[in-house]
């Protein structure tokens, strides 16, 4: 089946006998046993719930994994993932990372005995004897750098490490890290998978059954799983994932090209622009460029003016939904990063990040124009 079809029919297991077209929201915390030592396959909803299983099977199918586990947020998924590791273990990550992941690693995981290197001069050089995993996201947030997934997978394989890829920005519609050699895919389902800015969720997808089972034990034990209602909302969002990604990309392309021609815009970071340094790798490893654009304006005053005067675009954190959102990474997602480190990475007071939604390109451009000139 094609991807569009799998978004709708990715899980063929039926959970009721009424012929319901949509998976029911099973609000039961627990399930009765048909006999001693017997189970319907569902015992207690922390362990598994039919609505959540439906979502997990769908996402596992879309990413080409053995199984998926749905968590209450992307960060809950990432912190469950950290439970695969033990004190003394080291993880190589990248120097342009989602701010929340950086905060988790530095404020929580470090306290628990894990250490991290944020590689900027190549992943291989940062590997130590105690390294257990490589954790990347691509394109990165917010600087839109592209990491070669197959090359990272080769390094991981040679050195016996797990490769973990945060695939939130491109989703399996445009990029399938497991097919390129990754072991685990991570998602903030809050973003494109849900797609409507109305639910939080996280997902882990594993390539191998052994890793999947270890993650499932962690999820059941630590308990930050996704509720049946949220599982339903993310399932519902995924049904339109393919069409949303297509249109959001198309509009992002138009807006990014327009931004490059504006006098007050000094840099545009969109991987769909042929002169973006990651464009070539993206063509090789991904089926598209997505809907995320970062850009720098000439001075802080213009940045603030845009944020305060946009009307259709909302000045709000998050991304990937039908509503276009603009953020100020220096003050929002990356506020916890030391200032000099942040600025050396290009995340300064002139940088804005735009998540292109489903409004028309014409209206978005008109909105940015009036905000810049306000
Ligand atoms: C939002 C986001 C997360 C965290 O997800 P939440 O659902 O907000 O907890 C992780 N990675 C990336 C790339 C994100 O954009």
Is 247 annotated as catalytic? Answer: no
Name the pLDDT band for 95 (thresholds 50, 70, 90).
confident
Please tell me if the CB atom of residue 166 comes closer than 6 angstroms to any atom of ligand 1: yes
Q: Could you tell which of 168, 177, 192, 200 is best to mutate to test the pocket of ligand 1, judged by most ligand atoms within 8 Å of the CB?
A: 168
Neighbours of 9 (CB within 10 A): 12
- Reported in sequence order, the residue ranges of 305-373 that DSSP labels E, i.e. its strands, are 314-315, 325-327, 351-355
Return the pLDDT at 143: 92
pLDDT digits (tens, 9 = 90+) for 136-150: 999 998 999 999 999
CB 264 within 8 A of CB 372: yes
Contact call for residues 137 and 163 (beta carbons, < 8 A): no
Which of the four pLDDT bands, split at 50, 70 and 90, describes residue 63? very high
pTM confidence score:
0.97
| Other CB atoms within 10 Å distance of the CB of residue 352 | 25
Residue with the nearest Cα to atom 1 of ligand 1?
Answer: 188
- Residue 345: the pLDDT is 82
Adjacent-strand bridge partners of 134 = 92, 163
Residue with CA nearest ligand 1 atom 5:
74
Q: Taking 80 as the threshold, does the pLDDT of residue 333 lie above it?
A: no
The 10 Å Cβ neighbour count of residue 129 is: 6
Partnered with residue 70 across adjacent β-strands are: 203
Chain centroid offset of residue 324 CA:
17
Q: Note if 46 is an active site residue.
A: yes
Q: Given the residues 52, 103, 132, 191, select the one marked as catalytic.
A: 191
First to last CA, the chain: 50
Instruction: Report which protein residue has its CA nearest ligand 1's atom 14.
Output: 188
Structure tokens at 167: 């695939």
User: Would you say the CB of residue 200 lies under 6 angstroms from ligand 1?
Assistant: yes
Q: How far apart are CA 96 and CA 132, in angstroms?
A: 20
Predicted confidence (pLDDT) at residue 342 exceeds the cutoff of 90: no
Whether the predicted pLDDT of 369 surpasses 90: yes
191 is catalytic: yes
Query: For the residues 156-167, what does the mean pLDDT come to?
Result: 98
- Whether 10 is in the pocket of ligand 1, judged by its Cβ within 6 Å, is no
Catalytic, 166? Answer yes
Instruction: pLDDT band for 66, please (50, 70, 90 cuts).
Output: very high
The predicted pLDDT at position 339 comes to 87
Ligand 1, atom 7, lies closest to the CA of 74
Interatomic CA distance for residues 49 and 41, integer angstroms: 9
User: If pLDDT is split at 50, 70 and 90, which confidence band does 331 have?
Assistant: confident
Identify the active-site residue in 98, 118, 232, 328.
Answer: 98
């Amino acid at each position: 089946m094609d991807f569009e079809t799998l978004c709708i029919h990715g899980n063929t297991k039926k959970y009721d006998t009424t012929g319901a077209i949509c998976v029911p929201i099973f609000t039961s915390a627990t399930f009765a046993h048909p006999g001693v030592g017997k189970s319907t396959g569902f015992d207690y909803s922390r362990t598994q719930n039919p609505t959540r299983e439906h979502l997990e099977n769908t996402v596992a199918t879309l990413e080409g994994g053995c199984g998926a586990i749905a968590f209450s947020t992307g960060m809950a998924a990432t912190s469950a993932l950290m439970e695969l590791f033990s004190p003394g273990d080291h993880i190589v990550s990248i120097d342009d990372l989602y701010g929340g992941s950086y905060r988790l690693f530095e404020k929580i995981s470090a306290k628990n005995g894990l250490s991290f290197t944020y590689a900027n001069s190549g992943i291989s050089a940062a590997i130590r004897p105690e390294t257990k995993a490589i954790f990347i996201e691509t394109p990165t947030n917010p600087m839109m750098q592209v990491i070669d997934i197959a090359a990272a997978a080769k390094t991981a394989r040679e050195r016996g490490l797990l490769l973990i890829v945060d695939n939130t920005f491109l989703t399996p519609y445009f990029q399938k890290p497991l097919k390129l050699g990754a072991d685990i895919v991570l998602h903030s389902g809050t973003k494109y998978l849900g797609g409507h800015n109305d639910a939080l969720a996280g997902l882990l997808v594993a390539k191998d059954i052994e890793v999947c089972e270890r993650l499932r034990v962690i999820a059941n034990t630590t308990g930050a799983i996704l509720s049946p209602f949220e599982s339903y909302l993310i399932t519902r969002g995924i049904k339109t994932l393919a069409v949303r990604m297509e249109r959001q990309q198309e509009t992002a392309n138009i807006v990014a090209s327009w931004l490059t021609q504006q006098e007050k815009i000094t840099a545009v970071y969109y991987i769909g622009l042929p002169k973006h340094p990651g464009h070539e790798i993206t063509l090789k490893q991904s089926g598209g460029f997505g809907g995320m654009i970062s850009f720098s304006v000439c001075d802080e005053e213009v940045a603030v003016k845009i944020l305060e005067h946009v009307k259709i675009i909302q000045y709000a954190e998050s991304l990937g939904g039908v509503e276009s959102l603009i953020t100020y990474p220096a003050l929002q997602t990356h506020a916890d990063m030391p200032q000099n480190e942040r600025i050396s990475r290009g995340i300064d007071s002139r940088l804005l990040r735009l998540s292109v939604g489903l409004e028309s390109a014409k209206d978005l451009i008109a909105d940015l124009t009036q905000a810049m000139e306000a």
